[in-house]
Amino acid sequence: MTSSPTQPATALVTGANKGIGKQIARLLAEAGLTVHLGSRDPARGAAAAVEIGGDTRPLTLDVTDADSIAAAAERVPRLDVLVNNAGIGLDAGDAAETSLADYRTTFETNVFGVIAVTAAFLPALRAAAHPRIVNISSGTGSLADSVGPDATFPPTGRMAAYRVSKTTLNALTAFYALALPGFRVNCLAPGLRRTDLNARAQAADGDPAEAAAGAVHLALLPDDGPTGTFVSWDGVTPVRW
């Protein structure tokens, strides 16, 4: 039997004062949720919350800082939806050109930040009846679309640290789904969007709101919805791992 769509009451979006994260927060607020808007900069977070309106609450949260994460978790006793959106892309080189420092810095936010935030907020998520986790990944993290005769992306392997971090995030999503059977845990490939992370010309027409809608679709899945999946920005189309 298909259950009716859940309407979670409370959500947290990391890196939500701009870009895709801000649009996700906006759509969740419009859906009637209380949204904790995670931002490293308190002033920018507060400004974004005012702009979005609804029951949107700024939450100072640096996903690379253990004290910041712990303080944020203390303020959120129950959480229905966690959207791990915060991410960085520092490098432009291939695997051989990218420095160890760039790998480490990228993983600190894109991988270890997700692990740390998820662990800190698991008690709050377990207090909810229908917990959901959405990890914002990247199609460029797909191994199937990166190598071989059917590769979608150019064979240069540029932005290696970023892409490897997203491949790792995909694996984390799959294993969180196995470890948390009462949850719905999925990752989204948002496509090339007009954000600070993507300054390339071809991102000029990529509306962040379009990707945000896919994330919100995953955040509001019914109880019999999928878990452990990697889907495109429409929230439905599977992406090859």
Residues in the chain: 241
CA atoms within 13 A on the CB side of 140: 18
- SS3 of residue 145 by DSSP: coil
Could you say which DSSP state residue 48 is in?
H
Distance between CA 14 and CA 28 in Å, rounded? 13
CA atoms within 13 A on the CB side of 94: 6
Residues involved in catalysis: 162, 166
Give the phi and the psi of residue 11 in degrees, each rounded to 5: -135, 155
Q: In degrees, to the nearest 5, what angle opens at C-alpha 14 toward C-alphas 134 and 126? A: 55
Tell me if 93 sits within 8 A of 139, measured CB to CB.
no
In sequence order, the β-bridge partners of residue 132 are 81, 184
Q: Whose structure tokens read 């979670």?
A: 8
Burial 150-186 (b: 16+ CB within 10 A, else e): eeeeeeebbbbbbbbbbbbbbebbbebbeebeebbbb
Q: Are strands 34-39 and 132-136 parallel, antiparallel or unpaired?
A: unpaired
Give the closest residue to 164 by CA, choosing from 61, 226, 87. 87
